[in-house]
Structure 1
């Protein structure tokens, strides 16, 4: 056991029942808040605390100062730019088309998957894999329940299918050429200071580097291309034969293997 569930400071019977239901779904204990601060509960139990608020779930990881919760993040303003006719470098790298099948092997907050959903449209398919169970649960609930007046954004979030699975295991059982684009955005092996909003995600998420097996399976399953996003100094571009798209004003680059 590494996590317990509780409610927000101000709660009612509805929130309590919801917290208990979530605890049952995740097979982890529910603890009454008893007007304690999250920090006090963390110190008492020395565990992560999943707080059930009215509008979202917040994971307060033990020893981390900022909580992890779902938010469409950069996908919101990126989508607004796309609707104005501006370009998106992720879509340039993936070259997604209407009706394409897209597999994101490193879901995280699913920002890129949301943009992919816009690109492939209603006839396409977007599947995202997240190996960390708690991140997967919080983001899955966020994708399905987050409310916004930005209708296109909400539609794209609902279209993303997020699964709690190891990406390599998903690739191994997938048929050859069954996805048009395979995408991978592993935790950067070098910290990008401007990305401070990902502090908690970096600390609780998986930090797996690409492997030969992962790459071979990705190339087998992809019909059009495999795309990597990584720090511009990453050795993975050259190691695995990616054609690196250099971006002078950005600390991360995209790499493409066309099939």
Structure 2
């Protein structure tokens, strides 16, 4: 199909091992992310960290942007000191993805933030994060087993874009120990967990600019990515 929208997906930048003996720095992405885009009819392209000055030019070639999950954001970005349980930041990735997001908002390119991606959207808008969620909610249900997705229910907010895509209550794949604290300027919280944790946010308006704290790419529900791909296709 010649009219398939091109969807950029951000990547990790980390040390990785593969094959017989390779152990090198790598830009990588779990295969579930590009498959998620492809299953919705989009063309997926990986966006490894690059010079932030090139972000606007990259985004001009895209029809949509997915900010993937991954490492904890540097708490210095929102004026905080690292929590003892916070992961080591990856400044190259932080700078690159903040620049991509800024360019996508400026150029009205549809954006879906997933887990870290949602948190990045909040920080970009001047919001803050809870660095270790169990300290606030008193349980580890959002991230009970390292390296495995589990499920918990979320309730979308009626009347929001997110609420229009999802049922009144739905189980989602979860794996996060950080979360939104103070909501960024202009953003609206559009779903919550039973403990009150913000599970989705969006910019109001007609453009697709949505972040979710869960991992939709890890399950069969394509409603979010199909909405992104349809929005991206309309730009053409």
| TM-score (normalizing by structure 2) | 0.35
- The structure richer in helix per residue is 1
Larger RCO (CA under 8 A, 6+ residues apart): 2
| TM-score (normalizing by structure 1) | 0.32
- The structure richer in strand per residue is 2
Higher alpha-carbon Rg: 1
